[in-house]
C-alpha cells in the first residue's frame, strides 16, 4: 500500500488507488488521505456503533476531528519569526497571513468546528448551509457567510460524510470561485462513489480530502455502508 506509515500525503502521481480502510490515493491534483492511526480507528468504531448516544458521539467526533486536523494542516502556511527564549535569540515559525479559513457545512459540519479551531485558534470561520434534495440527491445552498474574496487563502472545509460528493463539490466550487487557492476537505468518513465524483468534478483543482476511512459503498438511499448513519441526527439526537 502506498501510504506512508505516519499518514503523510504522497505527492501526485506516486500513489496507486488503494481502496479499503487505510492508505493514500493521489489522482491528478486531488489527493485523498486516509489517516491510518489506531486512535482514529478506535474512535471511528465507537462512532459507528448504533448504541453510542449523542453526547458521546459529539465528544468522539470532536476528538476525531482534532486528530484528522493534525494531519490535514501538515501543509498549513507558516512564516519565519525571530523570538527570544529566556536563554537566547532564535527563530521559529508562526501561521502566516492571510489567516486560514475554516468552513463547516451546516448542519453536521458544525459538530466538527470546535475540533478544528482548537488546533487553528487564529483561523477565521465561515459558514455554508447546504441540504441535499432527498429525491434527486442534488446539493442546494441555503446560506453562505464568508469573505467574498478568498484570494491566496488556505481553506479547510469540514463535513462529516463524503457520500455522493455533491455537497462537497458544490461547496468547493464556491470556495474556488471566490479565489481560494488551496482547499482541504476534512470528513469523518467517505464512500468510494463520492471520492470518484470529487476526482472527476474537481480534477485540476488544488483539493485534498482527509478522512478516517473510505467505506465499502453507498446504499440505495445514498447512505454510506457500513457508515455510521445520519451524522447530523446522531450528533444532535434527532434520529
Ligand atoms: N450523510 C450522512 O449523514 N450519512 C450518510 O451515510 C450519508 C450522508
- Which grid coordinates belong to 93? 515559525
Measure 82 CA to ligand 1 centroid, in angstroms: 46
Measure 99 CA to ligand 1 centroid, in angstroms: 30
Which residues sit opposite 224 in a β-bridge?
A: 218
Segment 197-231, tens digit of pLDDT: 999 999 888 899 999 999 999 999 999 999 999 99
pTM of the model: 0.86
Pairing between β-strand 78-84 and β-strand 139-145 as defined by DSSP bridges: unpaired
- 2 appears as a binding residue in the annotation: no
- 230 appears as a binding residue in the annotation: yes
Active site residues: 132, 136, 230, 233
| Average pLDDT over the chain, rounded to an integer | 87
Reported confidence tier of residue 239, pLDDT bands at 50, 70, 90: low
- The interface predicted TM-score of the complex, written ipTM, equals 0.96
Phi, psi (5° rounding) for residue 115? -60, -35
Grid cell 440527491 is found at: 137
Mapped onto helix, strand or coil, the DSSP state of residue 176 is helix
Q: What residue ranges define each of the domains in the chain, with the CATH number in brackets?
A: 23-236 (3.40.50.2020)
- The verdict on the CB of residue 137 being under 6 Å from ligand 1 is no
Phi, psi (5° rounding) for residue 137? 65, 10
DSSP track, 126-163: -EEEEEE-TTT--EEEEEEES-S--TT-EEEEE-SEES
> Please, what sign has the CA dihedral across residues 64, 231, 48, 56?
positive
Residue pair 97/73 in contact by the 8 Å Cβ criterion: no
Amino acid at each position: 500500500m502506498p501510504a506512508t506509515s505516519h499518514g503523510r500525503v504522497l505527492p501526485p502521481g506516486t500513489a496507486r488507488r488503494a481502496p479499503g480502510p487505510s492508505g493514500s490515493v493521489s489522482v491528478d491534483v486531488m489527493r485523498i488521505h486516509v489517516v491510518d492511526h489506531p486512535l482514529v480507528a478506535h474512535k471511528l468504531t465507537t462512532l459507528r456503533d448504533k448504541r453510542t448516544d449523542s453526547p458521546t458521539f459529539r465528544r468522539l467526533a470532536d476528538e476525531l476531528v482534532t486528530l484528522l486536523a493534525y494531519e490535514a494542516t501538515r501543509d498549513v502556511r507558516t512564516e519565519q519569526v525571530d523570538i527570544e527564549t529566556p536563554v537566547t535569540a532564535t527563530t521559529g515559525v508562526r501561521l502566516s497571513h492571510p489567516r486560514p479559513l475554516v468552513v463547516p457545512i451546516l448542519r453536521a459540519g458544525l459538530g466538527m468546528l470546535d475540533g478544528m479551531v482548537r488546533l487553528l485558534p487564529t483561523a477565521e470561520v465561515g459558514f455554508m448551509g447546504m441540504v441535499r434534495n432527498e429525491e434527486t440527491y442534488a446539493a442546494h445552498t441555503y446560506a453562505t457567510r464568508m469573505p467574498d474574496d478568498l484570494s491566496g487563502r488556505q481553506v479547510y472545509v469540514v463535513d462529516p460524510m463524503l457520500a455522493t460528493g455533491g455537497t462537497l463539490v458544490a461547496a468547493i466550487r464556491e470556495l474556488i470561485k471566490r479565489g481560494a487557492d488551496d482547499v482541504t476537505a476534512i470528513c469523518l468518513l467517505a464512500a468510494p462513489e463520492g471520492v470518484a465524483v470529487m476526482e472527476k468534478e474537481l480534477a485540476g483543482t488544488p483539493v485534498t480530502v482527509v478522512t478516517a476511512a473510505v467505506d465499502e459503498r453507498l446504499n440505495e438511499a445514498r447512505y454510506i455502508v457500513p457508515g455510521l448513519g445520519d451524522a447530523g441526527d446522531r450528533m444532535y439526537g434527532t434520529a
